[in-house]
Structure 1
Amino acid sequence: MRIALFEPEIAGNVGAVLRLCACFATAVDLIEPMGFTWDDRRVRRAAMDYIDHVTITRHASFEAFRAGIGTQRLVLFTTKTDRSAYDFTYRPDDILLFGKESAGVPAAVSDVCDARVRIPMQPQVRSMNLATTAALALGEALRQTGSLPG
């Protein structure tokens, strides 16, 4: 299983996702452009020393990312669907894709995803923090596939 972040904008969120993925032995794909420079100290501060325990692959574009994933299923987490992430059946080799904080992903990206799911939440709120959403999503996917460490 992998987590992919499409054009992330906030260094601290990326750092928190890197720390999460280090804890769960999950690789991370970063799809550029990003809204900050990669050597931003905020990434390392949020990831702490965990950054050395996660596999990170940077991709110059979504097309470059797609070219490198082969036949792995791409599961997009989005607010633009009614399908619950908790009613979805995950596979151990799924890639969980999350859009940029301000705008998600464009329709062209959404259209090529194999599935679109959402974390259910109160209707009067717009969205959750990227790192929080990734944690909920990864936890459920690993639980279902029996891939939780320890």
Structure 2
Amino acid sequence: MTEPPPAPSHDLHIVLVEPEIAANTGAIGRTCVAVGATLWLVRPLGFHIDDRSVKRAGLDYWEHLRYHVVDELDEVIRRLGPDRLWWFSTKAARIYTEAPFRPGDALVFGSESRGLPRKWIDGDPERALRIPMRPEARSLNLANAAAVGLYEAFRRIGG
């Protein structure tokens, strides 16, 4: 499968670090198509990219998705710049609506079972964001969290 060309610098990006569930990735891909965002998948993946459930969740949108599969997050950082990444985590202190999103920014999410490494959140707390929720809810589904963050960033940049 040939990957679409890289996104223009004004677009937003979603980065999934070691995603485990194909249906979540498919749903996130569909959301990316809806706002013109590029999806980055950082290996290892918990599924094959051509998995039927990825395609089913993305339905007929997958062919319109700009995406890249990379071996390490450093490749994303090299391509987009470290100052363009926003780390989403339930452990972050800053609320996602406080972030000054700009065109070309990337929203980074960890795997469904582990999230992002704590060192990334603690290493740059100003760029670490959380979606507020009641204490009874440990976290949101990855596809839901990505949609919440992406649509806020899209709204902020004038989408």
* TM-score normalised by structure 1 residue count: 0.91
Q: Distance in 2 between matches of 1:106 and 1:124?
A: 22
Q: Which residue of 2 aligns with 1:80?
A: 91
| Alignment CA distance shift 1:109-1:140 (3 Å) | same
The count of corresponding residues between Structure 1 and Structure 2 is 147
1:49 is matched with which residue: 53, 57, 60?
Answer: 60
The answer to whether 1:39 aligns with 2:50 is yes
Q: How does 1:137-148 map to 2 (within 5 A)?
A: 137-146=149-158, 148=159
Q: Which residue of 1 aligns with 2:132?
A: 120
| Alignment CA distance shift 1:70-1:85 (3 Å) | closer
1:8 is matched with which residue: 19, 33, 40?
Answer: 19
Offset of residue 67 of structure 1: 2.7
The answer to whether 1:21 aligns with 2:32 is yes
Offset of residue 29 of structure 1: 0.5
| Alignment CA distance shift 1:27-1:72 (3 Å) | farther
Overall identity of the aligned pairs, in %: 40
Q: Which runs of 5+ in 2 are unaligned?
A: 1-11
Q: Decide which structure has greater helix share.
A: 2
Q: Which residue of 1 aligns with 2:3?
A: none
* Conserved 8 A contact 2:80-2:104: no
Offset of residue 72 of structure 1: 4.9
Q: Distance in 1 between matches of 2:117 and 2:154?
A: 27
Q: Distance in 2 between matches of 1:61 and 1:112?
A: 19
Q: Which runs of 5+ in 1 are unaligned?
A: none
